[in-house]
Amino acid sequence: MNSNRRAKIIIWLLWLVFVPSSTYLAFLVTKPDIASYSADILFFLILIAIVGFFPIKLNNTPIFLYEGIALAVFLSFGLFAELVFAQFAFMIVLLTIRIGWSELYRIPLNSLIFLITSIISAVVFYLLGGTHNGNDLASLAFLVPAAAYELTKFLSNQLVINFLLRLLNGDRIHFFTRDTLRQGITVLIQFPIGIILYILYTEMGVIATVYVGIPFITLSIFFKQYYASQNVNYYLQKASEIGHQLAGRLQVDEVLDLIIQKLSTVLPVDFAYILDVKKDGLHLIRYVENGVQKTLSIPPLQKNEGIGGTVWQTGQAVLFHKKEEWKKITQGYLPATVESIISVPIVRNKQIVGVLVLASNSKRSYEKYQLMIVDLLVSYLAVAVENARHYEETKNKSERCALTKLYNYRYFEGLLEEEFKKLDSTNKGEPLSLILLDIDHFKAVNDNFGHQSGNLILCELANRLVKMVGKRGTVARYGGEEFVILLPNKDKFTSLQIAEDIRKLIANNPFVFYSDLDNNRKQISAKITASIGVATALEDADDPLALVRHADRAMYTGAKQAGRNKVAQYVS
């Protein structure tokens, strides 16, 4: 059993032990006269229920403006009534946020928080001489205990949340945060409203709940809309920042990784999918699970297949709050735990070029304004991907040989410089070998069969070299019929073996092509050989140019002049 699950079980056990017994004990100790005020209590319950349906959600945590009413209830009816009212209000909020099965532990967790903070605050109130039948409502004897009650409730609430979340997650939670400040401001606003409600109730009776309730409910709605607008501004700012960061990435993979990483920091994302539109359908090009990139093999989606195919067909973004809303249209690649989904088309030049899918294991994880923000971000994504692809294509053209698609000499020179710098910086004596090969009698091939046939041989040789060398080194076209292979961390003995394997690969496997000079384009099988030279740094050279020069010398003096179709090493 992992520590998180163990902590959740402990929370449930603590709730079973303390909440029912503490509430009953409060009833026995305070002996409230509930029966005489049943109608009044009913009105307060209605008022709290209405306020409970307008919670403010900050960072996935609901805040609802019931503190003022709870203060009036406590001052009017005592601790037991306030405990019952708090639990009732909490259940109302749970109905509005509709938590999933994985978050059921929040029921006992929040119930415990309400219980503990209410009891601690009541103890402070009574220790300061607070009573429930004070006559002078404007005196310090009344206001000081009431203010201390509210302040203690706020501070103890933060401390208890800090402790319980640390118990659940094992992380240290900061006491003073922006959310703490916001909650403090809402409590500060509610305190005088609660005092006024209590005073009016004392003087006028239950009608006071109507007089104060209407502006209080209006205030709740106002705060909900205010914080919603604050959240929209926050996400717009984040979207702008992410857009600038995307514009600075010049690799497609970097762009895709960054968009998922940033979205996962501002939204609750358990699974993320990026699908690319191709001729045969939607192809999955990126899959991230809980922040970790993974491989997922799924067939290409067609239009109207699954959520991605539906978004591709309609061109419209979709938002699903729970599984029941989308389970009939999915193709089964979404995990069974998923509840909430956002999916938006990636549009460039009025054409859908891809689809983004974000999924959460919790119900109602996403709001409509978050859907709009994601829709805005994918427009940045489309531009960034196109720019990165254009950059990569331009870079490839400048670094690659147009004929063989191998790296060209310009790229090879830069790579050789970098590898020599590594030798200097590490100073570990690790070798760096270079193989230089030249096709024997290549001019005769061009003369006898045509330059087009010669080009086909060069391309075929390039493919053979890349397959044989693999990840051990880098193959480049040095110029004309010459090729160079750079082998980091390979000593001369190993490099000579590789060079000999290359020589045999060329000499023992004829090249098949069609004669460019024959009108009938007769198929020809020709045996080709190559002369190969090998040099190793720092054994044979202590700078890049010397390494190339010495490999070239080995190739001509040790291989070509010795009869060709040979491998030679540099000898000083």
Q: What share of the chain is helix, strand, coil (3-state, %, to 5)?
A: 60, 15, 25
Residues 6+ apart with CB under 8 A from 454: 442, 445, 446
Distance CA 531, CA 361 (A): 62
Is the Cβ–Cβ distance between 22 and 119 less than 8 Å?
yes
The confidence score (pLDDT) of residue 548 equals: 94
What does the alpha-carbon distance between residue 453 and residue 516 come to, in Å, rounded to a whole number? Answer: 6
Altogether, the residues listed in the chain come to a count of 572
Residue 106: predicted pLDDT: 74
CA distances (Å), origin 256, targets 260, 310, 473: 7, 22, 28
| pLDDT at residue number 191 | 87
Integer Cα distance of 158 and 94 in angstroms: 20
Task: Find residue 534's DSSP bridge partners.
Answer: 435, 569
Tell me whether domains 252-391 and 409-569 share a fold.
no
Tokens linked to 82: 């306030």
Query: How far apart (Å, rounded) are the C-alpha atoms in residues 307 and 299?
Result: 14
Cα(283)–Cα(312) distance, rounded to whole angstroms? Answer: 12
Residue 338 is classified by DSSP as: -
Q: What's the topology of domain 409-569?
A: Alpha-Beta Plaits (3.30.70)
**Average pLDDT of every residue of the chain:** 84
Q: How far apart, in whole angstroms, are the C-alpha atoms of residue 355 and residue 344?
A: 6
Strand partners, 487: 433
Is the bond preceding 538 in cis, omega lying within 30 degrees of 0? yes
Choose among 86, 107, 91: nearest CA to 44: 86
Indicate the pTM of the whole model.
0.57
Nearest Cα to 107, choosing from 240, 42, 15, 245? 15
The tokens of 137 are what? 């409502």
Look-up of token digits 């994985």: 102
Domain ranges of the chain: 3-234, 252-391, 409-569
Name beta bridge partners: 281: 278
Q: Tally Cβ neighbours within 10 Å of residue 568.
A: 23
- What's the rounded Cα separation, in Å, for the pair 491 and 497? 10
CA pair distance 462, 27, nearest whole angstrom: 88
CATH class of 252-391: alpha beta
Segment 335-390, tens digit of pLDDT: 888 999 999 999 988 899 999 999 999 888 898 888 988 988 888 888 888 888 88
Element (H, E) at 485: strand 482-488
Mind spelling out the 3-state secondary structure of 20-73?
A: HHHHHHHHHHHCCCCHHHHHHHHHHHHHHHHHHCCCEEECCEEECCCHHHHHHH
pLDDT for 139 equals: 75
What is the spatial distance between Cα 103 and Cα 363, in angstroms, rounded to a whole number? 10
Are 532 and 503 contacting, i.e. CB atoms less than 8 angstroms apart? yes
Q: 85 and 73 in contact (C-beta within 8 Å)?
A: yes
- Please name the amino acid found at residue 350: K
Cβ atoms < 10 Å from Cβ of 301: 23
Burial 354-379 (b: 16+ CB within 10 A, else e): bbbbbbbbbbbbbbeebbbbbbbbbe
Which residue blocks in 351-450 are alpha helix, DSSP H? Answer: 368-399, 409-426, 442-449
Joined together, the tokens standing for residue 474 give 């880098």
pLDDT in tens, 417-449: 999 888 866 556 689 999 999 999 999 988 888
Buried b (16+ CB within 10 A) or exposed e, 464-475: bbeeebeeebbb
Determine the Cα–Cα distance for residues 112 and 83; give it in Å rounded to an integer.
Answer: 11
The pLDDT of residue 1 is 47
- The rounded distance, in Å, linking the Cα atoms of 435 and 128 is 89
d(CA 333, CA 283): 13
Q: Classify residue 154 as exposed, middle or buried by CB count within 10 Å of its CB (0-12, 13-18, 19+).
A: buried
Q: What is the DSSP string of 140-204?
A: HHHHHHHHHHHHHHHHHHHHHHHHHHHHHH-PPPPSS-HHHHHHHHHHHHHHHHHHHHHHHHHHH
Q: What is the mean pLDDT of each run of 10 residues along the chain (572 residues)?
A: 69 85 87 79 81 61 71 88 82 65 73 87 90 70 88 85 66 63 78 86 82 73 73 82 84 87 89 91 91 87 90 93 86 83 91 93 87 89 84 80 91 92 70 95 88 91 95 93 94 95 95 77 87 94 93 94 94 83
Apex 132 CA angle, 129 and 134, nearest 5: 75
Residues with Cβ within 8 Å of residue 40, at least 6 apart in sequence: 76, 201, 205, 206
**Residue 368 CB partners (closer than 8 Å, separation 6+):** 319
